[in-house]
Structure 1
Amino acid sequence: MAVADSFKIKDIRIEGLQRISAGAVFNVLPLQVGDEVDAAALARSTRILFKTGNFQDLTLFEDDDVLIVQVSERPSISSIELDGNKSIETENLMEGLSQAGLSEGSVFQRATLDKLKVELERQYIAQGRYGARVEPEVKPLPRNRVAINIKIKEGDVATISGVDIVGNTVFTDEELVEEFELKKSHMFSFFKGDDKYSREKLSGDLEKLTSYYQDRGYVNFRVESTQVSVTPQKSEVYITVNISEGERHTVNEVRITGDLKVPEADLRRLILLKPGQTFSRRLVTTSNELISKRLGNEGYTFANVNGVPSLSEKGDNTVDITFYVDAGTRVYVRRINFFGNMKTRDEVLRREMRQMEGAWASGQLIENSKVRLERLGFFKGVTIETPRVPGEDDQVDVNYTVEEQPSGSIGASVGYQQGTGFVFGANLSQSNFLGTGNRVSIAANRSDIRNTVSFSFMDPYYTIDGVSRGYSLFYQETEIDSNDIISNWASDRLGGNINFSYPTSDISRINFGVGFENVTVYASQQSPIQVWELVGYDLRDYRFNGETTQSKEFLNFPLTAGWSISTLNRGVFATRGSSHSLSATVTSPGSDLEYYRLTYQAQKYFPISNDWTFRLRTEIGFGNGFGNADQIPFYDNYYAGGFGSIRGYEDRSLGPRETQSPYDFGTARAIGGNLLTEGSAEFIFPMPFVKDSRSFRTMFFIDAGNVFDTHREEYEFEFDQLRMSAGIALSWITGIGPLSFSLSKAFNDQEGDDVQTFQFSLGQPF
């Protein structure tokens, strides 16, 4: 800047511009033609222009009453390249550079780049990479531009060679360090990576240490200081934590005060700390949450509860705890919205709601509604948001966001089986048909000797209050004149049923049904005794398998009743809760056969952590005759083996076999029995390398069970006849249905058992 005395600006001329327009300078320059200026005004204008960050040098001076603004622009950034970064993704680094003012097209400032270099190295040091180096390189380009190349040498994460705690007298170092995520290098560190230093992990461990002491009564515990020492090679670190334990305190008095809105006695029952009990910060926090939820159930969604401990005036290592309650204003629900349901209709979701629009916002009802959506089995997950209505203090919207998943299966098959010849099949099963929530299943199979077709439909909301109605039809025809038949018996079956289910609560239902079944049984002279006992010896003759064949027709009218209860958190791939169901089938008066079947099924999930779960499952069934019958017909027996039963054995292959009739016969096959016992124990774990495990399930399992016949001495129940298997299994929700695989080893298998190590299934999840 050069000026002798004040002068009146006759004109303004800008020199040195390359990239920046003159208009951009005039918009910032606080001087204009006609102004009287002096040295102070020019100095002030210079500072204003410098603050724009566009110039690395500029001069203002006067030439014959003309103000000359001579500038030297900062270069613009043409490109930014990163090289060597692995632990921090390029996208995240670029975002950080942009926030710091370094992006393609922006003005380059060396000071900003130098600060960014220091910040990047600090971030790597926070990861334990003490040898990390960041080396920026600036390359000039034509037209006042630069290219920036940032070379990064991350180095290795320093390993922890020692963790020492100083000042502890109540608990040993081993007890305290056991709570830490960071640990001294050990033989499993290669897999767990818990010996890699990280500043964030250390901060978390110090929080755990504080909680460990305060949960055991040490109210005044504090971490005095922390030292992290690095070896000269920067490959190892030693952590030293200095602590002050203080004295152990017990609870003297518990008070609750504030705007309670509900009876104090109701809230006091939710406080987990009692006088005389050892103080625990965790129990204080949990009590805060329980009181907040209780108030939330009454519509006080934004209640604030804070339990504050204070040293008792007695001075005897006791504390008084006061819970300050600010219930706030009761909040009402203006609108319930659904997002993410591209296929499922809104009405299907809305009928599961227990929180109503216009009513006060109940945290329990909002959460119950979410659980009911997850139990449908249509969605991977459901999230809730309760934003305030703009301009209103007492209204919220409840937004449910769902992520849909395949809710059915479709398949076709072609194959060849001994005894049935070529088999062609197709099936369609959809539990959310056209987004209506209705369940539809259609299947058809054709082979050289047998044709089958089935159809079922169920409307879970036949009435508005949740009464469901379902019906099904099935037909099976056997070509008894086929020379391909090698079995000793066959049957034709035609039937159907209608079923109604009534909700008795949000988690339980009872159901009733009635059906009909027409069965024609064909028996050769080589049929098992059980078949001959059913069909008799004086019936119509057919030529079956080259021999005279007997047949008999039965018409039955089964009545069904059942009860079920479920607290599972999801309809598919549950992780917590339990379910129980009990069903009974009995033939009605007027049926040709008199018999009944009772079946009990149960399962329970035991969460171990967020990702690990233990599951127990069982199924028990028993059937028998009554009146003139002493047993159930063989074609309605229980079967076991395969997926959903005892894995490691072929489907429906376990249990009693065909027994010799007075006429010798060929190879025996499983004919089922009237007593079923099954059980499974499964250890469910997250699938490696899969972040979203909601569509995958992997597990170790042990299955046990068998089918028995209480009417045949050789097949009566005995513990040593239970078949067992163990293995690993995977199930995956695909676009065409659940796809399941298992690898298993059979135990206690006997001669003649059909063992199957590898099994797969399409359409049946675990």
Structure 2
Amino acid sequence: MKRIAALILLASLSANALAFEPFVVSDIRIDGLTRIAQGTVLSYLPIEKGDTLSDEKAQAAIRALYQTKFFSDVEVDREGSILVIKVVERPAIAKLTLRGNKDIKEDDLRKGLKEIGLAEGETFDRLSLDRVQQELIRQYYNRGKYNVSVDPHVVQLDRNRVSIDIEIREGKAAKIKEINVVGNKAFTDKEIRDGFESNTSNWLSWYSKDDQYSREKLSGDLEKLSNYYMNRGYADFGIDSTQVAISPDKRAMYVDASVKEGEVYTVSDVKLLGDLILPEETLRKLVYIHKGDTFNRAAIEASSDAIKAILANIGYAFAKVTPVPKLDKDKRTADLTLFIEPGKRVYVRRVVFQGNTRTEDEVLRREMRQLEGAWYSQGAIDRSKTRLQRLGYFKTVDIDKQLVPGTVDQVDLTAKVEEQSAGSLMFGVGYSQYSGIILSASVSQNNFLGTGDRFSIGAETSTYYKRVNASYVNPYLTDSGIALGYNLGYSKLDYGDTDLANYTYSTKSFETTLSFPITDFDSLSTSLGISSNLINSSFYTPQELIAYQDALGNKTIHSWTSSLGYTHDTRNSYWAPTRGGQLSLNVSGALPGSTVQYYKIFGEANHYWPIGKGFVLYLDGQVGYGKTYGQTYDNNGYQVDPTTGQVAVDANGNPVTLYKKGDKVQFPFWENYYAGGVRDVRGFQDNTLGPRLCDGRSASSIPDSKNRCTGGYYSYGQPVGGAFKVLGTAQVFLPLPFLKDVNTARVSWFVDVGNVYKDYGSFDASDLRASTGLSLQWQAPIGPLIINFAVPFRKKDGDNRFVERIQFTFGNQF
């Protein structure tokens, strides 16, 4: 075929090039151009004015112009000493339409077509169209769709243009009817096929499509099969043959694989050879397979990757580690050598950014931990990528390296980002069993004018609260990463509309915050603010709360607030971590000069551990503590007789005093911790655990053992929270086949233990409540959704009113 094509080309060139005596070209004229500029054609010609034109040069000129693929016909002629080139331009592609493609996305198809020159605006080449047709058929065959047809239609348009319509009929994928592995004796079919992407039809195939044949999936499964054996010592395992048969109607596939298991090998020695760079004892710590161990390919590959990683962190970006096992079939041992080739140590010449059309380069550059002019470090690059992703400005972040042309020790880094909207105008509707219907509206911009500054204005209302707030944060007040923020807010909470104590609490506040990075994982934060809080009680408010407020002598509570916090965060993801954890400690309170002087300490520690096969263990512990300091009551706080509405008296006619003037002020009830709820001790209503009080009309202020109150408006004790809280959670995230993306949805089994107490001295472990159940967290189209099915297995009689087996909350933004 090659010889025939060459003869055709030679005949074509001979026909298009006239035989003439050599002459000196005084000028060059191009005839037949409509779209292509004459200067473009001249740039491809190997002939210039003043050259002597011969038959050989004429043929070379024709070849050069054909190779541009601009022309379907080229002729060479002369008029006196003028060289005349007559061309027929190939048509331009005016429109390219794709129809019927579902399995392959149109964007991916168009990108592939453009790479071979088949795109709108390009020159049309029939051979390219034929190649596209065959390539598309091949890709669909790889997906198991053997009934596919690809029909290109070319329509001639005016002005030497064409319209191309590619019609694809994908057909249905062939289903796998049988998968047979022959020769396996050490392990059952079920064991070795565990984890295969290919499977015969089952009850989940409608979703997973694992019964649809794919050449790529089958290749991956055979690799998994090989790994399964080699990770268990079968170093000479091999797949002798693989046969795939298709039924005559091209709808059923039959897969047979013949294997040779071989023998189990033990590692006799592990050597490190080559240019080690680092001390051998340092590298030995990164080798996860040792003398006497059963041969394990996964451990060998992990060792190679760990050595490459540590070398990449000190500048050896292109290090290679080649494992070479030498098998002794008589002794069934493997002598393993890890041959290390570090290559040249390289440094980063330049870091450039692509795709950030709105975000300033400086915003990205300050997140980079790999610096220009420094030795290449893969660890610093990976950390830089994580920091860029956590900004929230980008859908995707990729950092590529390229050797600088002409060098062997310099690389350029290109950070390619795809921006997403960092600002929003949102109206929200949500619902929770605790808050009822929630309406919200906000305007926010997390990347103001591309500077990385954040501001927001929002309002929210539900059945028991109203909130309005505005905030502004400059995350890089200084180059070292010190952040400065301001918060202004107003809120009003009507606890009487819930199962909590009956009173309303409104707050006006202003706060400024500073945060200081210590390392990439550690930060400090501090704040200073002022607030004015108004508490309105009613006849149904518990007596202790009214008396406390009377003892303070003021319904309006003024506070100078301050806080100091520390955070250590090593989570590998913000939304759905699978490893790492978070440790935080916060101390806050009201400073001297406030109506009530108090401090609160809250600490939390949690961690995620992958425990294999997609399972992730999560443990979390929280402790909250609050206390007042250096302050006494200005007045007496009296109990009121619920029948008369007057100050109650004892048997001697003396007023009953709940709080005495001069006594130390107790912790303010409006700052109490609460427990229970959809995100706390699940299975109990939100905020309903801990101390309870009867309303002001009840005969007694303290409910009985079954949480009952006599004579009051409420027949049960109202939760009031407490100054000491403990909470512990153990959770296992479960791998489910129909939840492919853990960033979208996760299901977990949990055990929660916790409660809240009046103060630290009231802590009693026997009062801890506990529950277990399943939880679904889903980033649904309607908004974040949490559904819990919880069963309290440690509770008391008084809790029955507040038990909820099914809890949910969701929100929507549109």
Q: What TM-score do the two structures reach when normalised by structure 1? A: 0.71
Q: 1:751 to 1:228 in 2, by over 3 A?
A: closer
Q: What pairs up with 1:224-303 in 2 under 5 angstroms?
A: 224-303=240-319
Select the residue among 534, 542, 560 that pairs with 2:548: 534
- Conserved 8 A contact 2:92-2:161: yes
Please state how far the C-alpha of 1:302 moved relative to its aligned partner.
1.6
> Who is 1:325 aligned against?
340
> Who is 2:709 aligned against?
none
> Who is 1:419 aligned against?
none
Please state how far the C-alpha of 1:505 moved relative to its aligned partner.
3.0
C-alpha separation in 2, matches of 1:506 and 1:297: 16
Answering whether residue 417 of structure 2 is matched by residue 402 of structure 1, we say: yes
- Unaligned stretches of 5+ in structure 1? 2-6, 10-16, 29-34, 38-45, 58-72, 416-422, 480-486, 541-550
Q: 1:184 to 1:76 in 2, by over 3 A?
A: same
SS in structure 1 of the partner of residue 402 of structure 2: coil
Select the residue among 372, 382, 385 that pairs with 1:370: 385
Q: What pairs up with 1:63-212 in 2 under 5 angstroms?
A: 87=103, 124-130=140-146, 155-212=171-228
> Who is 2:724 aligned against?
675
> Who is 1:336 aligned against?
351
Q: 1:332 to 1:686 in 2, by over 3 A?
A: same
Q: 1:114 to 1:388 in 2, by over 3 A?
A: closer
- Conserved 8 A contact 2:207-2:738: no
Answering whether residue 521 of structure 2 is matched by residue 507 of structure 1, we say: yes
> Who is 2:656 aligned against?
none
Q: Give 1:579's aligned amino acid.
A: Q
SS in structure 1 of the partner of residue 370 of structure 2: coil
Provide Cα deviations, 1:539-582, integer angstroms capped at 9, x if missing partner. Answer: 97xxxxxxxxxx45555555533322101234555554311212
Q: What pairs up with 1:386-397 in 2 under 5 angstroms?
A: 386-397=401-412
- Conserved 8 A contact 1:82-1:149: yes
Please state how far the C-alpha of 1:731 moved relative to its aligned partner.
3.7
- Conserved 8 A contact 2:208-2:738: no
Q: Give 1:282's aligned amino acid.
A: A
Please state how far the C-alpha of 1:142 moved relative to its aligned partner.
13
- Conserved 8 A contact 2:721-2:758: no
Provide Cα deviations, 1:40-95, integer angstroms capped at 9, x if missing partner. Answer: xxxxxx999999999999xxxxxxxxxxxxxxx99999999988765456787788
Q: Give 1:529's aligned amino acid.
A: Q
Q: 1:673 to 1:383 in 2, by over 3 A?
A: same
> Who is 1:577 aligned against?
580
SS in structure 2 of the partner of residue 181 of structure 1: coil
- Conserved 8 A contact 1:333-1:397: yes
Worse-superposed segment, 625-634 or 699-708: 699-708
C-alpha separation in 1, matches of 2:163 and 2:419: 46
Q: What pairs up with 1:591-740 in 2 under 5 angstroms?
A: 592-606=595-609, 619-625=622-628, 628-629=663-664, 631-639=666-674, 645=680, 656=691, 659-661=694-696, 666=713, 671-678=720-727, 708-710=756-758, 728-731=776-779, 739-740=783-784
Answering whether residue 239 of structure 2 is matched by residue 223 of structure 1, we say: yes
Provide Cα deviations, 1:666-712, integer angstroms capped at 9, x if missing partner. Answer: 45865433234556677879999999986x55656869577634369
SS in structure 1 of the partner of residue 198 of structure 2: coil
C-alpha separation in 1, matches of 2:568 and 2:94: 66
Worse-superposed segment, 204-213 or 142-151: 142-151
SS in structure 2 of the partner of residue 333 of structure 1: strand
Worse-superposed segment, 702-711 or 231-240: 702-711
Please state how far the C-alpha of 1:161 moved relative to its aligned partner.
2.7
- Conserved 8 A contact 2:677-2:687: yes
Q: Give 2:294's aligned amino acid.
A: T
Q: Give 1:333's aligned amino acid.
A: V
Tell me how large the CA RMSD over aligned residues is.
6.1
C-alpha separation in 1, matches of 2:461 and 2:403: 60
Q: Give 2:572's aligned amino acid.
A: N
Identity of aligned residues (%): 37
C-alpha separation in 1, matches of 2:72 and 2:480: 76
Q: Give 1:759's aligned amino acid.
A: T
Q: Give 1:632's aligned amino acid.
A: F
Q: Give 2:723's aligned amino acid.
A: N
Please state how far the C-alpha of 1:633 moved relative to its aligned partner.
0.8
Provide Cα deviations, 1:265-322, integer angstroms capped at 9, x if missing partner. Answer: 222222222122222222222222211111111111122221222235x952222222
- Conserved 8 A contact 1:701-1:728: no
- Unaligned stretches of 5+ in structure 2? 1-10, 12-18, 22-31, 46-52, 56-61, 74-88, 431-437, 495-500, 631-662, 700-711
Q: 1:741 to 1:286 in 2, by over 3 A?
A: closer
Provide Cα deviations, 1:713-748, integer angstroms capped at 9, x if missing partner. Answer: 9998765756888654444799xxxx5344556766
> Who is 1:357 aligned against?
372
- Conserved 8 A contact 2:678-2:788: no
- Conserved 8 A contact 1:709-1:717: no
Q: 1:490 to 1:503 in 2, by over 3 A?
A: same
> Who is 2:399 aligned against?
384
Q: 1:607 to 1:374 in 2, by over 3 A?
A: farther
Q: 1:600 to 1:101 in 2, by over 3 A?
A: closer
C-alpha separation in 2, matches of 1:287 and 1:195: 35
C-alpha separation in 2, matches of 1:94 and 1:317: 53
Please state how far the C-alpha of 1:209 moved relative to its aligned partner.
2.0
Provide Cα deviations, 1:420-461, integer angstroms capped at 9, x if missing partner. Answer: xxx998655555555444454556789999997655555444
> Who is 1:43 aligned against?
none
Provide Cα deviations, 1:132-188, integer angstroms capped at 9, x if missing partner. Answer: 567899999999999999887655433323222233333333322335322233343
Q: Give 1:631's aligned amino acid.
A: Q
- Conserved 8 A contact 1:594-1:629: no
C-alpha separation in 2, matches of 1:141 and 1:513: 70
Please state how far the C-alpha of 1:365 moved relative to its aligned partner.
1.7
> Who is 1:562 aligned against?
565
